[in-house]
Amino acid sequence: MSRMEDTEVIGRIRDEFPILERKTYGERPLVYLDNTASSQTPREVLAEIDNIYTLHKANVHRGVHLLSREATDLQEASRRSVAEFINAASPEEVIFTRGTTEGINLVASSFGGEFRDGDEIILTVMEHHANIVPWQLLRRHADIRIRVVPITDDGALDLEEYRRLFNPRTRLASFCHVSNVLGTLNPVAEMIAIAHSHGVPVLVDGAQAAPHFPIDVRALDADFYVFSSHKMYGPTGIGVLYGKRDLLEKMPPYQGGGEMIKHVSFEHTTFADLPFKFEAGTPDYVGIGAFPKALDFIRRTGWNTISEQEKMLLEFATEEMERIPGMKIYGTTPDKEAVISFNVGTIHNYDLGLMLDRQGVAVRTGHHCAQPLMERLGVPGTVRASFAVYNTLRDAELFIEALRKAVAMLS
């Protein structure tokens, strides 16, 4: 892959992100490589948040006055925009949540609430805690077994073992599209097809996939798909649960309150139609209304530009890091996104991350909410660097320079 980047194009992209102009610790340029945790936000999203708060702030739905109708129109336009972005069959299959975590909890509580003693769920060892703990909580009312797909030493899922885990007791398979630690891109279309051949529905955690390549839920044939705005250049506190209509219509509400009802009496309550029966209470209609601007940024930037820039940075950084004595990179499959988790010798990941930060390089350290995966890797934690389209080759070079200095000081 070429190490060249279109500096003019990437320069224009960077200009849309005011935070990238700031300095850290005096005059050190900010090198932001914590994109897997949360991406930065372009000016058009910030402007739309300001616009809604300034001119259109009023509670959505039920209101007859102009501001409420405008806020409602913005929220429902966002639902249509998201449905188009992921190729959902209809906007009613798009449920707004507070993030990927709430989306998984919603499915676990509502769909999983029907599970019984002896039922089984298939997860993978590379799952984020958000796709482990909600299923464990189901054990409060039923003796549910969680079966776990292992990985190979290079970080790929063991698909043969995945196939073997299905049996007549399997009620759901739930797995990440992309690992937040290893960067592994899982063959989810194949995995969904395998599950469906056993009559088992699938939930896909797309938090680390949706920012990096197109998601077509109908082509994947996903039963549920979840992701977050804040990892896609959008506002925080907003997530999406996509679900097939027939499944969502059968599921009971996740929470009770306003908006998700048709009629309430002390004797009986009837619930609203999709998507509203899963959206109790006042939503973050400002963030929801601004989310389409982030999707517009992605469309305007183009998936090819995003992919080429991130892959180039991944290749360059990986090759340079492998020249550092004691370097250990976790996740080396050919099919991976721009995430590099690593340790160097016996240096503690926190110490290394702190030394990088003091040089202006923002990375993540620790177990990355994936402690079972850390146990499989045999480490308590790692340092994680992750790239987005606004990162440049110069960012990667500064990261490598800072990493070499930190290793030299800590060794």
Residues catalogued as catalytic: 369
Round to whole Å and give the CA distance between 112 and 118.
Answer: 13
b/e burial code for range 258-277 (CB count within 10 A of at least 16 → b): ebbbeeeeeeeeebbebbbb
Round to whole Å and give the CA distance between 402 and 67.
Answer: 50
Per the document, the length of the chain is 411
CA dihedral of residues 271, 275, 280, 286 (deg, nearest 10): -150
Structure tokens at 326: 């004691």
Q: Looking at residue 324, what DSSP letter applies?
A: S
Question: Which element (helix H / strand E) includes 340?
Answer: strand 339-344
Structure tokens at 242: 């996509």
Answer whether 191's CB lies under 8 Å from 173's CB: yes
Question: Which element (helix H / strand E) includes 316?
Answer: helix 303-321
What SS3 state is found at 255? Answer: coil
